[in-house]
Amino acid sequence: MTTLAPMPTREALHQIADLCPKRWVKHYTRSKLSSDPVYGAVAKEVIGTDQPILDIGCGIGLLAHYLHACGHSLPITGFDYDPRKIDSAVAMATAAGHRHLSFTTGDARTGLPKFSGQVVILDILQFFTESEQDALLTAAASRVAPGAKLIVRSGLRDDSGRFRITVLVDYLAKACFWMKAAPTRYPDAAQFERVLVAAGLKVSIKPMWGGTPFNNFLIVGERHYNETQS
Ligand SMILES: C[S@@+](CC[C@H](N)C(=O)[O-])C[C@H]1O[C@@H](n2cnc3c(N)ncnc32)[C@H](O)[C@@H]1O
């Protein structure tokens, strides 16, 4: 069973940023890892477990590096449809000598890798239609092993100012070419309850705003040991 530190040191976060191939990505990574509460939140959710992790929409693999810096040495597979990001993720893992990290290119709308363990989806559902979101959540839940979790961070649709800022920033990410796509649709809390409970998971949803202006929530679906996988 892996014991994780609650958060890496500042130096460890800077070492991760130094792996990035381009200067502006280094700056982005340093600031994102130090300010975005999601990486620490995922680390807390997987503390004390020994299950491998599938990170769907992994980007350049920051979560994998963060968890390694917390002491997580179990296999982590990153999956993303942007080949440029996967190339960077592979280069960074190779440069760091992390052989337990692997990265593969694929579109989560058309299928996920065969897998059983913990599943993470951070900030990608807004690129999907409602039926694609339902299909992805169901497919991801079917890969959650008994005793493991599906951990999702998503902006939730509501009438708050936070929600409007979330949408604006996602459009800016597309305009500056950091994201391949503009947002399509944001899920709401009821959708997570409906899909994940039907998939046999016990669901909790809590705000994860940290110091950010975004309307982000952490959604955790846990598969108990006495429930069979769908
Ligand atoms: C906002 S970024 C989040 C990156 C990463 N999860 C993180 O938190 O550091 C969203 C990621 O989802 C990926 N993505 C979007 N649509 C996808 C799809 N259909 N299949 C796989 N990855 C996708 C994008 O390429 C991008 O890397």
**Atom nearest to 63 CA in ligand 1:** 9
Read off the pLDDT of each residue in 40-59 and give the average, rounded to a whole number: 93
Tell me phi and psi for residue 79, to 5 degrees: -140, 125
Model pTM score: 0.92
Locate 159 and state its tokens: 């009438």
Closest CA to 123 of 70, 193, 178, 194: 178
Per-residue pLDDT tens digits for 203-225: 999 999 988 899 999 999 999 98
Residue 3 lies in a domain: no
Read off the pLDDT of each residue in 162-170 and give the average, rounded to a whole number: 93
Domain tally for the chain? 1
Read off the pLDDT of each residue in 146-152 and give the average, rounded to a whole number: 97
Residue 82 lies in a domain: yes
Report whether pLDDT(229) > 60: no
Q: Which residues line ligand 1 (CB under 6 A)?
A: 57-59, 62-63, 80-82, 85, 107-109, 122-124, 127, 180
Residue 227 lies in a domain: no
Residue 4 lies in a domain: no
Ligand 1 centroid distance, CA of 64 (Å): 14
What is d(CA 122, CA 41) in angstroms, rounded to the nearest whole number? 11
Three-class SS state of 202:
strand
Find the angle CA(138)-CA(118)-CA(2) to the nearest 5 degrees. 170
Find the angle CA(31)-CA(89)-CA(128) to the nearest 5 degrees. 80
Using most ligand atoms within 8 A of CB, pick from 13, 29, 81 the residue to mutate for ligand 1: 81
Read off the pLDDT of each residue in 179-207 and give the average, rounded to a whole number: 93
Looking at residue 2, what is its pLDDT?
Answer: 54
Residue 27 lies in a domain: yes
Residue 146 lies in a domain: yes
Instruction: From residue 208, give the alpha-carbon distance in Å to each of 38, 42, 178, 185.
Output: 8, 11, 23, 19
Residue 24 lies in a domain: yes
Residue 228 lies in a domain: no
Ligand 1 centroid distance, CA of 226 (Å): 32
Report whether pLDDT(23) > 90: no
Residue 24: its H or E element: helix 23-35
Report whether pLDDT(157) > 90: yes
Using most ligand atoms within 8 A of CB, pick from 30, 80, 169 the residue to mutate for ligand 1: 80
Residue 86: its H or E element: helix 83-96
Sequence-distant (6+) residues with CB within 8 A of 78 are 55, 58, 59, 61, 63, 64, 86, 89, 101, 102, 103, 104
Q: How does residue 3 score in pLDDT terms, banded at 50, 70 and 90?
A: low
Q: How does residue 124 score in pLDDT terms, banded at 50, 70 and 90?
A: very high
The residue nearest atom 8 of ligand 1, judged by CA position, is: 122
Q: How does residue 5 score in pLDDT terms, banded at 50, 70 and 90?
A: low
Q: Which domain holds residue 140?
A: 10-222
Q: How does residue 98 score in pLDDT terms, banded at 50, 70 and 90?
A: very high
Looking at residue 230, what is its pLDDT?
Answer: 44
Closest CA to 196 of 159, 152, 226, 154: 152
Q: What is the CATH number of the domain that holds 154?
A: 3.40.50.150
Q: Are 55 and 106 in contact (CB under 8 A)?
A: no
The residue nearest atom 27 of ligand 1, judged by CA position, is: 59
Per-residue pLDDT tens digits for 63-96: 999 999 998 888 999 999 999 999 999 999 999 9
What is d(CA 16, CA 11) in angstroms, rounded to the nearest whole number? 9
